[in-house]
């Protein structure tokens, strides 16, 4: 009975932690704007970067990553639930909270940064997952540098992650987490996929030089 209560408490806390709308709060602090009404309307780091600049965008990215990391690294230990299955469960709920935040009428971000935080947290606790994290980060950077699309880099990387997990013999609960996050994030990027197919997606250029137009 006590274990069940701990699990329920962990689910609630991880969801509420993920639900903290970092982009909305930081945009309000810096410029008194509702980020939902500017740029793409997405409550995430990329939109804050585009609308408000580097410093607010970096702060949002850090906070969104931290939400996933805290839910995976510290919450299970505080509740006495250190098993991988609970780390995966609480990480998933943090991402769900970020995407469907109770504080903004269940309309949040797209879950990429918080998922990255979940992966960081899992890699801290699961040594064999570090190679998966390294490959995922390398994939994202390579795809982004070639094309310049944050959305394309994110979509392709989350598709690769479950494959990397299978190749490096991760546990069933971790592979399932990877698959579920992949499905959710790709679904949340439906509008980006449509814009990519129409050639209307915006590039995100942070490099000091112009990249060749590969895509």
pLDDT at 131: 98
- What gap in Å lies between CA 13 and CA 7, rounded to an integer? 10
Residue 211 scores a pLDDT above 60: no
Residues 88 and 174: beta-carbon distance below 8 Å = yes
**Chain centre distance of CA 207:** 23
pLDDT, mean of residues 5-11: 96
pLDDT, mean of residues 1-8: 90
List, as one string, the DSSP characters of 33-46.
--GGGSTT---SHH
Would the pTM of this model clear 0.75, i.e. be above it? yes
pLDDT at 206: 57
pLDDT at 212: 47
pLDDT at 203: 85
Residue 139 scores a pLDDT above 90: yes
% of the chain surpassing 70 pLDDT: 95
Residue 95 scores a pLDDT above 90: yes
Residue 39 scores a pLDDT above 90: no
% of the chain surpassing 90 pLDDT: 86
171 pLDDT band, cuts 50/70/90, is very high
pLDDT, mean of residues 173-181: 97
pLDDT at 213: 47
Beta-carbon count within 10 A of 3 CB? 10
């Amino acid at each position: 009975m006590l274990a069940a209560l701990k699990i329920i408490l962990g689910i609630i806390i991880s969801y509420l932690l993920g639900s903290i709308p970092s982009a909305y709060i930081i945009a309000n602090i810096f410029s008194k704007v509702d980020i939902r009404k500017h740029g793409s309307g997405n409550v995430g780091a990329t939109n804050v970067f585009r609308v408000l600049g580097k410093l607010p965008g970096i702060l949002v990215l850090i906070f969104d990553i931290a939400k996933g990391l805290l839910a995976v690294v510290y919450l299970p230990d505080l509740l006495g639930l250190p098993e991988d299955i609970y780390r995966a469960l609480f990480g998933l709920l943090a991402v769900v909270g970020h995407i469907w935040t109770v504080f903004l009428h269940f309309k949040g971000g797209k879950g990429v940064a918080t998922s990255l935080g979940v992966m960081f947290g899992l890699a801290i606790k699961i040594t064999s997952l570090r190679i998966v994290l390294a490959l995922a980060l390398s994939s994202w950077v390579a795809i982004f540098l070639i094309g310049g699309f944050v959305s394309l880099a994110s979509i392709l990387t989350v598709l690769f992650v479950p494959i990397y997990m299978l190749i490096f013999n991760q546990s069933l609960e971790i592979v399932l987490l990877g698959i579920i996050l992949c499905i959710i994030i790709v679904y949340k990027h439906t509008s980006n996929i449509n814009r990519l197919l129409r050639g209307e997606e915006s590039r995100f250029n942070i490099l000091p030089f112009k990249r060749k137009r590969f895509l």
